[in-house]
Structure 1
Amino acid sequence: MADQTEKKYITKEDLSKHNKPGDLWIAIQGKVYDVSDWIKSHPGGEALIVNLAGQDVTDAFIAFHPGTAWHHLNSLFTGYHIGDSQVSEISRDYRRLAAEFRKLGLFEKKGHVTLYTLAFVAALFAAVLYGVLACTSVVAHQIAAAILGLLWMQSAYIGHDSGHYVIMKNKSYNKFAQLLSGNCITGISIAWWKWTHNAHHLSCNSLDYDPDVQHIPVFAVSSKFFSSMTSRFYDRKLTFDPLARFLVSYQHFTYYPVMCFGRINLFIQTFLLLFSKREFPDRALNLAGILVFWTWFPLLVSCLPSWPERFFFVLTSFTVTALQHIQFTLNHFAADVYMGPPTGNDWFEKQTAGTLDISCTSYMDWFFGGLQFQLEHHLFPRLPRCHLRKVSPVVQELCKKHNLQYRSLSWWEANVWTIRTLKKAAYQARDAANPVVKNLVWEALNTHG
Structure 2
Amino acid sequence: MKDQIYTRRQIEGLIADGRKIIIIDGQVLKADAWLPFHPGGDKSILHMVGRDATDETRALHSAETLVFMRKFVVGRIEGKWDNFLPPIQGGQFRKSETDEQEEDIAEETAAESSSSSSSTASPSPLFEPVDGLRERRTTSTSSVSSLSLLDELDRSLKPTSMDDITSAQIASDLAKYPSLSPLTQRHIVEKYHELGLRLQAAGLYNCPYSAYAIEAIRYSIIFSAFLLCLRYGQYALSGAFLGVFWHQLVFTAHDAGHIAITHSYHVDSTIGIIIADFLGGLSIGWWKRNHNVHHIVTNSPEHDPDIEHVPFFAISHRFFSSLRSSYYDRVMDFDAVAQFAIRYQHWLYYPILTFGRFNLYVLSWTYLLSPTQAPRRGPAWWHRYLELAGQLFFWYWFGYLTVYRSIPTISSRVIFILISHMITAPLHVQITLSHFAMSTSDLGLTESFPQRMLRTTMDVDCPQWLDFVHGGLQFQAVHHLFPRIPRHNLRAAQKYVKAFCEDVGIPYAIYGFGEGNKEVIGRLSEVAKQVEIFEECRKHAAKELVEGHQGH
When normalised by structure 1's length, the TM-score is 0.89
Structure 1 residue 62: Cα displacement: 1.7
Taking the TM superposition and a 5 Å limit, the aligned residue runs for 1:412-423 are 412-423=514-525
Over 3 Å counting, the alpha-carbon distance change for 1:231 and 1:146 in structure 2 is same
Partner of 2:314: 220
2:296 to 202, 205, 227: 202
Is the aligned partner of 1:36 residue 2:32?
A: yes
The answer to whether 1:351 aligns with 2:453 is yes
Choose which of 328, 336, 343 in structure 2 pairs with 1:234.
328
Partner of 1:329, secondary structure, is helix
- Tell me what 2:59 maps to: 63
* Offset of residue 172 of structure 1: 4.5
Deviation at 1:166? 4.9
Match of 2:214 among 108, 116, 133: 116
Greater CA deviation, 302-311 or 385-394? Answer: 302-311
Q: Are the counterparts in 2 of residues 125 and 151 from structure 1 also a CA contact under 8 Å?
A: yes
CA positional deviation for 1:351: 0.5
Q: How does 1:241-260 map to 2 (within 5 A)?
A: 241-260=335-354
| 2:491 paired with 1:397 | no
Output the CA distance in 2 between the equivalents of 1:273 and 1:44. 12
**Amino acid corresponding to residue 511 of structure 2 in structure 1:** L
Matched residue type, 2:498: Q
3-state SS of 2:333 partner: coil
Aligned partners of 1:55 and 1:344 also within 8 Å: no
For 1:404 and 1:272, the matched residues in 2 are separated by: 39
Query: In structure 1, how many angstroms separate the alpha carbons of the residues matched to 2:221 and 2:8?
Result: 55
Match of 2:392 in 1: 291
The reply to whether residue 317 of structure 1 matches residue 313 of structure 2 is no
Tell me how far 1:422 sits from its aligned partner. 0.6
Change (3 A) 1:96 1:274: same
Match 2:478 to one of 345, 367, 376: 376
Which is worse superposed, 390-399 or 163-172?
A: 163-172
> What SS is found at the alignment partner of 2:196?
helix
Deviations 1:127-167 (A, max 9, x none): 1011011x23xxx4322222111100111111111110152
Query: 1:353-388: per-residue Cα shift (whole Å, max 9, x none)?
Result: 111111001111111111100010010000011211
CA RMSD in angstroms comes to 2.4
Q: CA deviation at 1:101?
A: 2.4
SS across alignment from 2:76: strand
Partners of 1:344 and 1:25 in 2: how far apart? 18
Which residue of 196, 199, 203 corresponds with 1:101? 199
Segment drifting more, 208-217 vs 113-122? 113-122
**Any idea what SS the aligned residue of 2:209 has?**
coil
CA contact (8 A) 1:377 1:383 kept: yes
- Per-residue CA deviations over 1:273-332 (Å, capped at 9, x if unaligned) read 222222414222211111111111123123224322222222212221000001111111
User: Is residue 246 of structure 2 the alignment partner of residue 152 of structure 1?
Assistant: yes
CA deviation profile, 1:93-129 (whole Å, cap 9, x unmatched):
1111112323444223333233322332222111101
Corresponding position of 1:54: 50
Do the aligned partners of residues 54 and 297 (structure 1) sit closer, same or farther apart at CA in structure 2, a change above 3 Å counting? same
| Unaligned segments of structure 2, at least 5 residues | 82-181, 376-382, 540-552
- Report how far residue 436 of structure 1 moved: 9.8
Residues 422-437 of structure 1 aligned to structure 2 (within 5 Å):
422-435=524-537
Return the letter of the residue paired with 2:333.
T
Say which of 367, 381, 402 aligns to 2:469.
Answer: 367
Structure 1 residues 336 and 101: CA distance shift in structure 2, 3 A: same
Q: Which amino acid aligns with 1:88?
A: R
Q: Contact 2:195–2:497 (CA<8 Å) still a contact in 1?
A: no
Give the gaps of 5 or more residues in structure 1.
1-5, 438-449
1:330 aligns with one of 423, 429, 433: 433
* TM-score normalised by length of structure 2: 0.73
Return the offset for 1:344.
Answer: 8.0
**AA aligned opposite 1:47:** K
Contact 1:11/1:83 (<8 A) preserved: no
Q: Residue by residue, what CA displacement relative to the aligned partner does 1:382-410 show, whole Å, maximum 9, x if unpaired?
A: 00112110110111121122221211111
Offset at residue 421 of structure 1 (A) = 0.7
1:8 shift after superposition: 5.1
SS of the aligned residue for 1:355 comes to coil
**Identity, % of aligned positions:** 33
The equivalent of 1:446 in structure 2 is none
Q: Which is further off, 17-26 or 155-164?
A: 17-26
**Residue-pair matches, total:** 428
CA contact (8 A) 1:26 1:52 kept: yes
Q: Provide the C-alpha distance between the structure 1 equivalents of 2:11 and 2:324, rounded to a whole number of angstroms.
A: 26
After superposition, the Cα gap between the structure-2 partners of 1:200 and 1:425, relative to the gap in structure 1 and judged at 3 Å, is same
Contact 2:311–2:337 (CA under 8 A) maintained in structure 1: yes
